[in-house]
Amino acid sequence: MTHPLRVIISGGGTGGHIFPAVAIANELRRRLPDTEILFVGANGRMEMTRVPEAGYKIVGLDITGLQRRLTPQNLLFPMRVLRSVRKAGKLIKEFRPDAVVGVGGYASAPVLLAATSQGIPSLIQEQNSYAGLVNKLLARRVNRICVAYDGMEKFFPREKIVLTGNPVRSEIATGDRAEALKFFGLDPNKKTLLVVGGSLGARTLNLATAAALPRLREAGVQLLWQTGKLYFPEAQKLAEPYEQDKLQALEFIQRMDLAYAAADVVVSRAGALSVSELSLTGKACILVPSPNVAEDHQTKNALALVGKGAAVLITDEHARTRLYDEALRLLADTERQHQLSARVLELARPQATTAIVDELLKLIPRQQ
């Protein structure tokens, strides 16, 4: 191969897909700086803004998912898939990638279908303990499947699976606490709670946090509260009277490295990316799995930590009544924070991104 390496990375929809994709791209560029990378996402989804913010070019497909009930959108679905596969095929012929990576999400399917039809080496990165529909459907067509959990042979051909862990942005665990406190305007003498409901926010966490604002002020606790776009206007109004108490509502936290560095305790959903980041940063955490996911896989993700004494679990249905009792107890118990931190660090896979790029490069015929 005489030209610079060319790779297409496809998928998105949520931060759980987008940030691993960017981590893979960053590792490729770190090793082979002249690598040409093209992202392919779904128009109207968050990757269309987040990927350019990370410094990469992205092209959008007009593709959506199937709705669970009969809607006009579902009737148009086959036509959209066909158009997206055609556009993806055209992109592949124009860009001429040496390999294609799919990270899950709507745009991943047409790109991987087009790539495998043209015999281009292809790799899937599955973040969750329960495989996504797109990845399950395409598993037999691709060359390699990188997973983060044991037992994934129930979804994928065993001979294609490599256990790598989830790719996490390398800088996520390098935040400096002093810089973080200054960045967010926090008091170094107070405990800090970080609440994140994923990149799109989480209704249960938002409602529980809104109700707990007076208790947090009374306890002298600082708050970094990522609300997501939909709830942010309301959360901003509710948090405004508490600004002097360092209780902050934020739509989206771009500098998660600093947010983790500032936090003494983290309250989070149990998506695959969140669990991987919490493990890598070694944060004492309370996990509130989302009930609105396939096969309740967030509970499985959470139990993988709880079973090893590395996290606290509060169910979604009990979050409104129990979450902040537990959060305030944990914030007041420094010894327990240290125990949880030490145990969650043991579960981290800091070399996951390196391992995935290793597998990708093995698929590409190199110049002798």
Is 341 part of any known ligand binding site? no
Is 273 part of any known ligand binding site? yes
Q: Are strands 161-163 and 192-196 parallel, antiparallel or unpaired?
A: unpaired
Is 15 part of any known ligand binding site? yes
Nearest to 208 by CA among 110, 315, 124, 294: 315
Is 201 part of any known ligand binding site? no
- Lookup: tokens for 39: 């992202």
Is 298 part of any known ligand binding site? yes
Is 272 part of any known ligand binding site? yes
- Alpha carbons within 13 angstroms on the beta-carbon side of residue 218 total 6
Secondary structure (H, E, C), the chain: CCCCCEEEEECCCCHHHHHHHHHHHHHHHHHCCCCEEEEEEECCCCHHHHHHHCCCEEEEECCCCCCCCCCHHHHHHHHHHHHHHHHHHHHHHHHCCCEEEECCCCCHHHHHHHHHHCCCCEEEEECCCCCCHHHHHHCCCCCEEEECCCCHHHCCCHHHEEECCCCCCHHHHCCCHHHHHHHHCCCCCCCEEEEECCCCCCHHHHHHHHHHHHHHHHHCCEEEEECCCCCHHHHHHHHHHHHHHCEEEECCCCCHHHHHHHCCEEEECCCHHHHHHHHHHCCEEEECCCCCCHHHHHHHHHHHHHCCCCCEECCHHHHHHHHHHHHHHHHHCHHHHHHHHHHHHCCCCCCHHHHHHHHHHHCCCCCC
Is 169 part of any known ligand binding site? yes
Is 128 part of any known ligand binding site? yes
Residue type at position 367: Q
Is 166 part of any known ligand binding site? no
Q: Which residues contact 310 (CB under 8 A, 6 or more apart)?
A: 279, 340, 343, 344, 346, 347
Is 84 part of any known ligand binding site? no
Q: Could you tell me which residues are annotated as the binding site?
A: 14-16, 128, 169, 199, 253, 272-277, 298
Which residues are annotated as part of the binding site for UDP-N-acetyl-alpha-D-glucosamine?
14-16, 128, 169, 199, 253, 272-277, 298
